[in-house]
Amino acid sequence: LTASMTLDPAFRVAPVHRRTFGSFVEHMGRCVYTGIYEPGHPAADADGFRTDVAALVRELGVTTVRYPGGNFVSGYRWEDGVGPKAERPVRRDLAWHSTETNQFGLDEFITWTRTLGIEPMMAVNLGTRGLQEALDLLEYANHPGGTALSDRRAANGHPQPHAVRMWCLGNEMDGPWQIGHKTAREYGRLAAEVARAMRMSDPGLELVACGSSGSSMPTFGAWEAEVLEETYDLVDYISLHAYYEEHDGDLASFLASATDMDHFIESVVATADAVRARLGATKRVNLSFDEWNVWYLSRHQAAEPRTDWPVAPRVIEDRYHLADAVVVGGLLISLLRHSDRVTAASLAQLVNVIAPIMTEPGGPAWRQTTFHPFALTAATAAGTVLRVEPESPVRETARYGAVPVVDAVATHDPEHGRAAVFVVNRAVDEPVTLHVDLRGLAAERVVSCRTLHDDDVYAANTAEHPDRVTPAENKDTALDGGRLSVVLPPVSWTVLTLE
Ligand code: AHR
């Protein structure tokens, strides 16, 4: 098979937003406990943070981290997680049917993000709680001092304000599974009240209203419209969440998951802009894709519901294979392609829970297959996103109809004289030779071309074989007189850098 595309620095979409490379830490399963935090682990620092995990988080290139949930936040009392650890209450977490020890909370999270140079992104509880508690949390986190709650933060060892800029107004409030689930109108009214008061406290905040938990929600579209009618002037973002999995061995449809992400993003942009027109507003609401990943959700839903209340149990510790990683790479292409409106995103989650990084308690930490496309995209995408519009053979898929085999996006960084191409070959068993016309780019050489591929699409990394699937240098490239070609193996993701 052959495909072609043009890479022209004039075909600009938007800047590469560093917040596209965010992730998510929820108090769920072993994401926090025995994930990022494990006092007593041989690699733990004085604060109990695992330095082996921190090194992998750095390598992953994560820029923002959303916290503390997820479904967990809708039953959470933030005060439980601050102050002397011995006095923190133990509570039940209804969302994940487990026991929360509260040994890790807001102050520990902020310390952890600061050590890693990560921007924290907080969520407030709009399930069991509301306006007053959100304002209290904001005062504790961000007020400089001289008030009851900011002084309490200082007394807890944090005299400097945490300066959290981005705040999510609840989580997945459209989902019937959510504690305190609401109709769009009920949620929109509450989110508007909370946003208005939070802005009175600090007009510089960036606020995210909950959009739909997925494009297949029965309220999708209507939810966004109603929520934005209530909140339009008060929020900066509307959120999107999406998880993909292979259903019934249908690999071709699974590999085309970015088709759904494209449709989801474009539908939310259209809905937000329709509300803008109706309200006669001038500003635009952007999109925060603050939960996205591959998640074998149907397996989780088919499992017997939990009857016990364990501390940090193994929950949704999906083991990712090569095809999952190619899908993650493809979803990143979709996010980048929509950088004009998707200006923040969070890979859900960061450690152990549907995560690129896995750990064993007291044991090693390693990279899942999905770690690689994320880390390489975060490290390579720079400057401006370019539209590339590949001409590609198409393949019929059961879920999405005819889908182009090749999907791609590019970035251009004139300051450093570099360009990068991110491309997937979604053909199940055929390689593709991709020809790229480097119009106006004056590229002289291929700096590197790395491809993630394996003859076994279901090969995965494990504690015993942590490097079973890793990207390899792709030598099948040629650059001649402004024409580049590269051979893409079937079911593969590739990043190519030029200068
Ligand atoms: O990331 C796992 C869960 O998925 C989150 O808690 C929730 O927001 C979503 O449904």
pLDDT value at position 442? 86
pLDDT in tens, 325-369: 999 999 999 999 999 999 999 999 999 999 999 999 999 999 999
Mean pLDDT confidence for 194-223: 97
Ligand 1 atom closest to 95 (CA): 6
Other CB atoms within 10 Å distance of the CB of residue 415: 8
17-380 in CATH: which number? 3.20.20.80
pLDDT reading at 439 higher than 90: no
- DSSP codes, 410-432: EEEEGGGTEEEEEEEE--SS--E
Among 24, 25, 26, the mutation site with the greatest number of ligand 1 atoms within 8 A of its Cβ is 26
Other CB atoms within 10 Å distance of the CB of residue 198: 22
> Among residues 212, 223, 334, 232, which one has the least CA distance to residue 273?
232
- Distance (Å) from CA 266 to ligand 1 centroid: 22
Residues 42, 473 contacting (CB under 8 angstroms)? no
In this structure, which residue's CA is closest to atom 8 in ligand 1?
Answer: 70
What's the token pair of residue 46? 């004085």
pLDDT in tens, 385-398: 999 999 999 999 99
In this structure, which residue's CA is closest to atom 5 in ligand 1?
Answer: 70
Residues 322, 457 contacting (CB under 8 angstroms)? yes
Ligand 1 atom closest to 171 (CA): 8
pLDDT value at position 324? 98
pLDDT in tens, 7-34: 999 999 999 999 999 999 999 999 999 9
Among 71, 210, 213, the mutation site with the greatest number of ligand 1 atoms within 8 A of its Cβ is 71
- Distance (Å) from CA 286 to ligand 1 centroid: 21
Confidence class of residue 99 from pLDDT cuts 50, 70 and 90?
Answer: very high
Mean pLDDT confidence for 446-455: 98
On the question of a cis peptide bond just before residue 70, with omega within 30 degrees of 0, the verdict is yes
317 is annotated as an active-site residue: no
In this structure, which residue's CA is closest to atom 1 in ligand 1?
Answer: 348
* Rg of the chain on CA atoms, in Å: 22
Give the rounded percent of residues in the chain with a pLDDT score beyond 70.
100
**Domain ranges within the chain, ordered by starting residue:** 3-8+386-498, 17-380
Ligand 1 atom closest to 213 (CA): 10
What ipTM was estimated for this complex?
0.99
Largest CA distance in the chain: 69
DSSP assignment, residue 484? E
Q: Say which amino acid occupies 133.
A: E
pLDDT in tens, 407-436: 999 999 999 999 999 999 999 999 999 999
**Strand ranges in 125-217 using DSSP code E only, listed in sequence order:** 166-169, 206-209
pLDDT in tens, 156-179: 999 999 999 999 999 999 999 999
Ligand 1 atom closest to 291 (CA): 1
Mean pLDDT of the chain: 97
- Distance (Å) from CA 71 to ligand 1 centroid: 6
In this structure, which residue's CA is closest to atom 9 in ligand 1?
Answer: 70
Ligand 1 neighbours, Cβ below 6 Å, are 26, 28, 69-71, 171-172, 213, 291, 348-349
pLDDT in tens, 222-262: 999 999 999 999 999 999 999 999 999 999 999 999 999 99
Residues 289, 239 contacting (CB under 8 angstroms)? yes
Where b means 16+ CB within 10 Å and e means fewer, 56-89 reads bbeebbbbbbbbbbbbbbbbbebbbbbbeeeebe
Integer Cα distance of 137 and 152 in angstroms: 11
In this structure, which residue's CA is closest to atom 4 in ligand 1?
Answer: 70
Mean pLDDT confidence for 204-215: 97
Confidence class of residue 310 from pLDDT cuts 50, 70 and 90?
Answer: very high
Mean pLDDT confidence for 142-156: 98
pLDDT value at position 255? 98
- Which residue in this structure is represented by tokens 């929820």? 26
Q: Which of 79, 108, 139, 291 is catalytic?
A: 291
- Distance (Å) from CA 244 to ligand 1 centroid: 13
Residues 168, 290 contacting (CB under 8 angstroms)? yes
3-8+386-498 in CATH: which number? 2.60.40.1180
Ligand 1 atom closest to 28 (CA): 6
pLDDT value at position 481? 87
Ligand 1 atom closest to 177 (CA): 10
Integer Cα distance of 393 and 415 in angstroms: 35
- Distance (Å) from CA 351 to ligand 1 centroid: 14
Ligand 1 atom closest to 348 (CA): 1
79 is annotated as an active-site residue: no
- Distance (Å) from CA 70 to ligand 1 centroid: 5
pLDDT reading at 110 higher than 90: yes
pLDDT value at position 337? 98
- Distance (Å) from CA 79 to ligand 1 centroid: 22
Give the rounded percent of residues in the chain with a pLDDT score beyond 90.
98
Q: Which of 139, 172, 224, 230 is catalytic?
A: 172
Among 172, 245, 346, the mutation site with the greatest number of ligand 1 atoms within 8 A of its Cβ is 172
Residues 418, 454 contacting (CB under 8 angstroms)? no
pLDDT value at position 80? 98
- Distance (Å) from CA 218 to ligand 1 centroid: 18
Confidence class of residue 440 from pLDDT cuts 50, 70 and 90?
Answer: confident
pLDDT value at position 212? 98
